[in-house]
Amino acid sequence: MLVGVGLMPHGNPVLEPEDEETKRLAEVLREIGEKFRDVDAYILISPHNVRMSDHLGIVLAENLVSWLGFEGKEIPGEWKTDRELAERIYQAEKEAGMPVVDLNFASLRGEYSRWPLSWGELIPLNFLDKKPLVLITPTREVSRETLVKFGEVLGDVIESAEKRIVLIVSADHGHAHDENGPYGLRKESETYDRLIMELINENRLEELLRVPEELVRNALVDSYWQMLIMLGAMRKAEFELKESAYACPTYFGMAGALWVRKG
Q: What is the rounded CA–CA span in Å between residue 39 and residue 1?
A: 10
- Tell whether the model's pLDDT for residue 72 goes beyond 90: no
Per-domain residue ranges of the chain: 2-172
> What number of other Cβ atoms are within 10 A of residue 194's Cβ?
14
The confidence score (pLDDT) of residue 101 equals: 98
SS3 50: coil
pLDDT tens track for 175-210: 999 999 999 999 999 999 999 999 999 999 999 999
**Mean of pLDDT values over 140-151:** 97
Residue type, 38: D
Q: What is the rounded CA–CA span in Å between residue 136 and residue 59?
A: 6
DSSP 142: S
Crossing angle (nearest 10°) for helices 224-234 and 144-160: 40
Looking at domain 2-172, its CATH architecture is 3-Layer(aba) Sandwich (3.40)
Are 100 and 90 within 8 A, CB to CB?
A: yes
Q: What is the rounded CA–CA span in Å between residue 221 and residue 55?
A: 19
Q: How confident is the model at residue 148 (pLDDT cuts 50, 70, 90)?
A: very high
Angle among Cα 240, 258, 250 to the nearest 5 degrees reads 140
The confidence score (pLDDT) of residue 124 equals: 98
Nearest to 229 by CA among 167, 166, 158, 141: 167
Nearest to 212 by CA among 192, 186, 231, 230: 192
pLDDT tens track for 92-139: 999 999 999 999 999 999 999 999 999 999 999 999 999 999 999 999
pLDDT tens track for 4-58: 999 999 999 999 999 999 999 999 999 999 999 999 999 999 999 999 999 999 9
Q: What is the rounded CA–CA span in Å between residue 10 and residue 26?
A: 11
- Tell whether the model's pLDDT for residue 64 goes beyond 90: yes
Residue 27 Cα distances to 199, 209, 215, 223, angstroms: 21, 29, 30, 21
Mean pLDDT of the chain: 97
The confidence score (pLDDT) of residue 71 equals: 87
Q: What is the rounded CA–CA span in Å between residue 176 and residue 10?
A: 16
Four-CA torsion 162, 167, 168, 172, nearest 10 degrees? 170
Are 119 and 48 within 8 A, CB to CB?
A: yes
Q: What is the rounded CA–CA span in Å between residue 31 and residue 66?
A: 23
Name the pTM for this structure: 0.97
% the chain with pLDDT above 90 = 97
Crossing angle (nearest 10°) for helices 83-95 and 144-160: 130
